[in-house]
A and B are shown apart, each in its own frame.
Chain A
Amino acid sequence: MHELSIALSLLEAAEDEAERRGNPRVLAVHLRLGPLSGVVKEALLSAFEMARAESSLPEARLEIEDVPLVVFCPECQRNRAAVSIQMLCCAECGAPTPDVVQGRELDIIALEIQ
């Protein structure tokens, strides 16, 4: 369980960003989360809930956008959806590929401020 460490890093990054913008009220932090980020969404949400009380963003909600897994398919020669993280292959033609194009994201994409 490292979601608490992740939640603390997330809040820290959001605090820095808020500070750069003159410390507005932060109502939400928007996050993009990939299936290969190593982070469990539900665990992160509850860790965030705990951690935000101690932060300078006690009102901030965490909004998570799930990012689909995309690989580069060597057969189709283009980016394709992958079957799953247990089966890294092209969802169209079934060719296996280790080339993950999208799915490792653990990125803050926006702040909702007032």
Chain B
Amino acid sequence: MKTQTRLVEVRQKVLKANDVVARALREQFQSAGVFVVSLVSSPGAGKTYFLEELLKRLRTKFRVAALVGDLATDNDAKRLARAEVPVRQIVTGAVCHLEAEMVRAALGDWNLSELDFLFIENVGNLVCPSSYDLGEDLRMVLLSVTEGEDKPLKYPTIFNTADVAVLTKMDLATAVEFDLPETRRNIDAVRPGMKVFPIAAKTGAGLEAIVHFLEAKRV
């Protein structure tokens, strides 16, 4: 039997299945009028604490809810529930990132048109979440002052796919000799013009600026 090898053109995104779900989510969010923000960072950068404090502040003026992804446990959902807003945990099992389908499934029966803001806290990981669109309007990357000023240079892709950077634990900046100008330079090198918010969830410093920023973005 004579067989011939040939090359056929395909042109398809590998993550097309995720992109299709993400696009549908984005349309759904848009028509419901809910502004969706996702949070990415390394484990322990302070996503949950930051989100808890942010939710408390937003809740007084807006209808807010959150989804939180972790490999295991619902500890973060319990913590976020202290902000007295609807919260759902996504347990990913062995998966190191959230995918659009997990978000879609977790939303379940939530009526999105009753929300102004929805937050999606990704699994703590600075690598894998960068490849997956979740249908969000805005992606925040968090970096804590204890992690080192060069983190943006080590993980340029996640900074590049994010829209704004939040520098957490600024109340520890002096103790760890954190160099804010150098960090800003490094962020600007991997994502020129990126907006940077230094904050401290513990003292509340910088949180109002983010509330105002989100308020303005939503309109």
Nearest CB in chain A to that of B99: its residue: A5
Q: From residue 1 to 48 of chain B, which have CB atoms closer than 8 A to chain A?
A: 3-18
B10 A17 Cβ-Cβ under 8 A: yes
A110 B193 Cβ-Cβ under 8 A: no
Complex Cα–Cα for A82 and B161 (A): 16
Q: Is A37 an interface residue (CB 8 A)?
A: yes
- A114 contacts which chain B residues (CB < 8 A)? 3-6
Q: Is B89 an interface residue (CB 8 A)?
A: no
Q: Size band of the A side of the interface?
A: 35 or more
Q: How many residues of B contact A (CB 8 A)?
A: 36
A112 B127 Cβ-Cβ under 8 A: no
B6 to chain A, nearest CB (A): 6
Contact A2-B10, Cβ < 8 Å, known A9-B17, A88-B190, A113-B5 = no
**Max chain B C-beta neighbours (<10 A), residue from A9, A87, A114:** A9
Interface string of A53-95 (1 = CB under 8 A from B): 0000000000000000000000000000000011111000000
Q: Is B169 an interface residue (CB 8 A)?
A: no
Interface string of A29-55 (1 = CB under 8 A from B): 011000011110000000000000000
Contact partner, B14, options A89, A108, A110, A111, Cβ 8 Å: A108
A13 B14 Cβ-Cβ under 8 A: yes
A96 B7 Cβ-Cβ under 8 A: no
**Max chain A C-beta neighbours (<10 A), residue from B3, B128, B131, B194:** B131
Q: From residue 111 to 139 of chain B, which have CB atoms closer than 8 A to chain A?
A: 127-128, 130-131
Complex Cα–Cα for A36 and B10 (A): 22
B10 A108 Cβ-Cβ under 8 A: yes
Main secondary structure of the interface of A (DSSP, over half): mixed
**Max chain B C-beta neighbours (<10 A), residue from A30, A38, A87, A89:** A38
Q: Is B96 an interface residue (CB 8 A)?
A: yes
Q: Is B211 an interface residue (CB 8 A)?
A: no
Contact partner, B127, options A2, A30, A111, Cβ 8 Å: A2
B164 to chain A, nearest CB (A): 12
Interface string of B183-194 (1 = CB under 8 A from A): 000001111111
Q: Is B153 an interface residue (CB 8 A)?
A: yes
Which residues of B are interface residues toward A (Cβ below 8 A)?
3-18, 95-97, 127-128, 130-131, 153, 156-158, 160-161, 188-194
5 pairs, CB–CB < 8 Å, chain A vs chain B: A10-B14, A13-B17, A38-B161, A106-B131, A112-B7
If A88-B160, A111-B10 are given as contacts, then 10 extra A-B residue pairs at C-beta distance below 8 Å, sorted by A number, are: A2-B97, A9-B15, A9-B17, A30-B10, A36-B161, A38-B128, A38-B131, A87-B190, A96-B188, A110-B7
